[in-house]
Structure 1
Amino acid sequence: MDRAKIAGAALAAAGLALLATGCSAPATTASFGSAPASAPQAAASAVPGDHAADEDRDAVRVAIVGDSLTAGGGRLLSDGLDANTWMTYARGDGVEWVGGYAKGGSTIQEQAAVVTPVADVDVLVLMSGTNDVRKGIGFAESAASYDAVVATIAPRHVVVAAIPPYDRSPAAAAVYQRALERHVLEKGWTWTDPWGFARDGLVFAAGTSPDGIHPTTAGYQRLGESLRETILDVGDPRDDLLQAGPAVDDAPASTSATS
């Protein structure tokens, strides 16, 4: 039985139990905290530690790809999660981090070249582009790399997050971002801008960034909380069941005249 059917059966069973008892079911809470640090693997792809096996079986499985804004500072995502990694604040209670790739200073082209497949991903969150702007790479040169990352991960749903303000070249960042958003919408992916708290026009709002590139630790938390909401909205298994449509009735359908 595929995962969507299993999720549907679990929801149906839970509904019957609630009707029978008149009580609310207890919430399931997955483990929360930093993934254990490990040596970078091939292509520095991140794979959560053994604790992932204890996660909520019905959780949305999430892979993440990006640069330092995803890895946390100048680190590799494969070093594990910390206070400056947004996934630290997004995971648990229905969201399971299952891998991906992120490296400080990397462009989307670099990420596409080294990211490796991740099995059974419900939602891919891809946030990249700041280093393209830093290196003067226009979106036209980057578009195919976004597509390549998505093709490698092969998720059920794709979320592309806007890049934050880039104080060193705010106008160029805005141009790149507009082109990225158009591409995402053309592909039928989900576009989200989780940086509203940090924007003051085209630059970082006062007190939200120590360097005009990265948010503060409190900003990473707000970023994670925002992306968590998007992940749960996009990755809700009930949406997959609705998209699959109702079961086909074996009985012959009646016919009626239509105009």
Structure 2
Amino acid sequence: MRRAAWALLLVLACLTGCRPVDSASTNATLSVFAVGDSITEADSPDFDDGDLGSGSWAWYTDQAPVLMLGGWAHAGATTADMLLGVSELVAESTMRHADVLVLMAGSNDVDAGVPFAEAADHLRAIARDAGISRVVLSTIPPEDAVAADVQAFNAQLPALARSEGWQLVDPMTQIRDGGGHYAPGMTDDGVHPTVRAARLIGQALHRDLVR
């Protein structure tokens, strides 16, 4: 492709909000398998197969040198559901190799009143079954109706990460207020991030992954 035409495509990509043409698909050196719920899946046509939607934070993390392979993420999933899903992928020999496993899990456990210790056991089992050497554990996003419970859940993640030798990341700093609620303009329903918030989460995760 001529240099001028390539530059035009890049400009158009930025103007439309799409991923740049020179993206992870052509310059990837770090492949990522993510496990999560609706915060991760969002509007993706088929997140598990790597068909991402722009409402998912993964869309914005999928920039060179990071390649988002998809993974396992479904709306309403608890950590128990995620463990079952990943275990099935392993049993069916369809688990994809990746350099990094990202876990953003626990929002639905909080909603269901699942004790943190139980959710932590599920997260350990997911990491064990996935068999990916580098594990990145993310905080969960705000949820306005149960902000204190979300804060309590997130407060226990550092000890879990230390005990397992995982990398703990907090990509939620720009989308929440000081009380654990969503910051203004970052949610439409008090539960799910807006596209703007998803972009901020994804960009923060990208920085943490390549750091």
TM interval, short-chain normalised: 0.7 to 0.9
Deviation at 1:197, TM superposition (A): 0.8
- 2:113 is matched by which residue type in structure 1? G
Partner of 2:170: 193
Report if aligned partners of 1:139, 1:180 keep a CA contact under 8 Å in 2. no
- 2:190 is matched by which residue type in structure 1? G
SS in 2 for 1:196: coil
RMSD: 2.3
C-alpha distance in structure 1 between counterparts of 2:181 and 2:46, whole Å: 26
C-alpha distance in structure 1 between counterparts of 2:195 and 2:96, whole Å: 30
TM-score, length basis structure 2: 0.80
Report if aligned partners of 1:73, 1:214 keep a CA contact under 8 Å in 2. no
Report if aligned partners of 1:74, 1:104 keep a CA contact under 8 Å in 2. no
Aligned length: 184
Report if aligned partners of 1:107, 1:130 keep a CA contact under 8 Å in 2. yes
C-alpha distance in structure 1 between counterparts of 2:188 and 2:149, whole Å: 20
Identity within the alignment, % = 32
Report if aligned partners of 1:76, 1:104 keep a CA contact under 8 Å in 2. no
- How big is each residue's C-alpha offset from its partner over 1:127-146, in whole Å with a ceiling of 9 and x where there is no partner? 01110011111111111110
Distance change (3 Å), C-alpha of 1:108 and 1:189: same
1:86 aligns with 2:57: yes
C-alpha distance in structure 2 between counterparts of 1:136 and 1:77, whole Å: 27
Deviation at 1:185, TM superposition (A): 1.7
SS in 2 for 1:97: strand
Partner of 1:112: 83
TM-score, length basis structure 1: 0.65
1:90-169 alignment runs, 5 A limit: 90-115=61-86, 116-117=89-90, 118-169=95-146
SS in 2 for 1:168: helix
Larger Rg: 1
Question: Which ranges of structure 1 fall in alignment gaps of 5 or more residues?
Answer: 1-28, 34-51, 234-259
C-alpha distance in structure 1 between counterparts of 2:151 and 2:46, whole Å: 26
Per mean C-alpha deviation after superposition, the further-off stretch among 124-133 and 112-121 is 112-121
1:217 aligns with 2:188: no
C-alpha distance in structure 2 between counterparts of 1:76 and 1:179, whole Å: 31
Partner of 2:159: 182
Deviation at 1:203, TM superposition (A): 0.9
Deviation at 1:151, TM superposition (A): 1.3
Distance change (3 Å), C-alpha of 1:170 and 1:205: same
Report if aligned partners of 1:74, 1:103 keep a CA contact under 8 Å in 2. no
SS in 1 for 2:54: coil
C-alpha distance in structure 1 between counterparts of 2:48 and 2:210, whole Å: 24
Question: Which ranges of structure 2 fall in alignment gaps of 5 or more residues?
Answer: 1-9, 11-17
